[in-house]
Structure 1
Amino acid sequence: MIQETYKTIQSSVQEELKVKGSRFVARAAPVSAKEEAEEKLGRISREFHEATHHCFAYRVGIGDGGVDRSSDAGEPAGTAGQPILQVIRGEGLTNILVVVTRYFGGTKLGIGGLIKAYTTVTQEVLRKAAILEIPVFHHLELKTDYAHISNVMREINVFEAKLTASDYRETIQLQVNVPAQKVSDFREALIDRTGGQIKIKVVTES
């Protein structure tokens, strides 16, 4: 089944939870790549270096190209990073980073208490976030000749594709972003309108 849209958050949000003297400060931010997630994580860790832990999870990308990562950051295994990630997954979100900074209050919470705290504060910070549903586009490279370019351009408009680059030489090379649900019909239309005189390559999805 083709994924036509994905959900992420509109902007950065923050929420705080206090449990038996410990403070759990959750920060959620939109990210577009794992490198951006790692950079923001590093920035938070440096800015709030006096904290006891900076536990986190992030998801970026969609489908088979999606990547996620989580870390307990010194908390007992499985009590922080995975609970944060499970909430993100449960909300169906991607392109998102959640960092929960803990300031230890002197009282140990135990395995169950930690899981509950990290789960709860992640749920609460995501409730504050505005959720965006964004269309998925496939990036295609097209190669054709001058005799067929007018028909190709017509189909680009008909299918509401976005022309992102063009190169007019001996052959014409175009780069277009096409809504995921329209890719198959778009390919068929191009082949039909050019009598098969076109090369089509699906490069990425975004």
Structure 2
Amino acid sequence: MKTQSVALLRRWKVTRRSASIVLLAAFALLILLALAFNSSWSRGLYYLTGEESIVERVKGVGALTLIWLTQRPPQIDAFAPMPHIDVNPYGVNTFLQLEAEEENVRRQLEMLHAAGFGWIRQEFPWEDIEIHGKGDFEDRRTVPPKSAWLKYARIVDLAEENGIQILARLDNPPAWSRAAGDAAGTLAPPDNFDDFGDFVAAVAGRYCGRI
């Protein structure tokens, strides 16, 4: 019986505290609404939130107030645990797909590993992989034709050999994905975003667990 009473008391305290926070936030919003129509206060809210309309300024300050009331204080103890300390934080942008020779790719990744980099953000341009049409992953820009995946498989393999993780950047829609081709620019979005989704699925299916 005593245990149940203690549990009910704790639950009541938590509920009362939550209700107090909500009421305090609502009261603060009412004050803000009253002050928002004062020109000097309105300018202050603009500089604080960056919002143009009065309603959005009030909403912004209300959100900031709610965060301030409910956020947990930071752990500042001398031996407080720190997350992700076992993750190498150093990375670099690479464009290894532009290298024609495998030895150049290998040398660059070896140098990055020696310099202490743990990951790379590497481009996987859509236009360079699904080149000539949907579902067509053959590169016929050279003779003889070859798989468009070859250079990217090489990058993934060599990165793994050097203990470097890959953050793949999928971009640059091919011309065939737009009825107007490259008339609006080579970076214009595709007409059908499902085509891009299928490309992403193809990359994920091929390199799942490796990038």
Which bin holds the TM-score, normalised by the shorter protein?
under 0.3
Which structure carries more strand by proportion?
Answer: 1
TM-score normalised to structure 2 length = 0.23
Which structure carries more helix by proportion?
Answer: 2
TM-score normalised to structure 1 length = 0.23
Structure whose CA Rg is larger: 2
